[in-house]
Amino acid sequence: MKKLTVAFVAIACACIYAVAQTTAPAKRRAVKTGPPNGIFSPAIITGDLVFTSGQIGLDPKTGQFPEGGIEAQFNQVFKNLTAVLEASGSSVDHIVKATVFLADMNDYNAMNDLYRKQFKGDPPARTTVQVARLPRDARIEIEAVAVLK
């Protein structure tokens, strides 16, 4: 599992490096969606791409996970992801690559059913991996790369 994680990170870094090398130097700007947390930005825009931080299913109003297991957390993750993308000048329809982190791969089929409903037409490229643990013991986290509108 450790080797798989290291390989995944290496591939992701190589892809980001390749994109950076094939485009003109672009300014990088952070997206603000609320009070800063001081640790990371919800998203970064560079060129015509938006790179989101991973979103977990915390309700921003309550700071808690919704009741209802993987389905409720998935739906809240997509609400959070939608809010970040809209604040960035993009949308879920403009996602080109998503990475889904699951706490339990037994949730894969349920996640697929829910994921399929989020996109009109062809869904974006996607990677799904099981991880040892997610922040606040979330069951799912999703990060995305999208094109600006």
CA distances from 96 to 56, 69, 72, 83 (A): 19, 27, 24, 17
Residue located via tokens 């009741």: 67
* DSSP code string of the chain: -HHHHHHHHHHHHHHHHHHHHHS----EEEE--SS--SS--SEEEETTEEEEPPEE---TTTSSPPSSHHHHHHHHHHHHHHHHHHHHT--GGGEEEEEEEES-GGGHHHHHHHHHTT-SSSPPEEEEEE-S--GGG-SEEEEEEEE--
* Per-residue pLDDT tens digits for 21-35: 555 567 888 887 776
**What local confidence, expressed as pLDDT, does residue 18 receive?**
56
Across-strand partners of 146?
50, 95
* Per-residue pLDDT tens digits for 39-66: 889 999 999 999 999 999 999 999 999 9
Does the pLDDT at position 13 exceed 50? Answer: no
The pTM of the full predicted model, rounded to 2 decimals, is 0.81
CATH topology assigned to domain 27-147: 60s Ribosomal Protein L30; Chain: A; (3.30.1330)
| Cα–Cα distance measured from residue 70 to residue 16, given in angstroms and rounded to the nearest whole number | 30
* Per-residue pLDDT tens digits for 92-137: 999 999 999 999 999 999 999 999 999 989 999 999 999 999 999 9
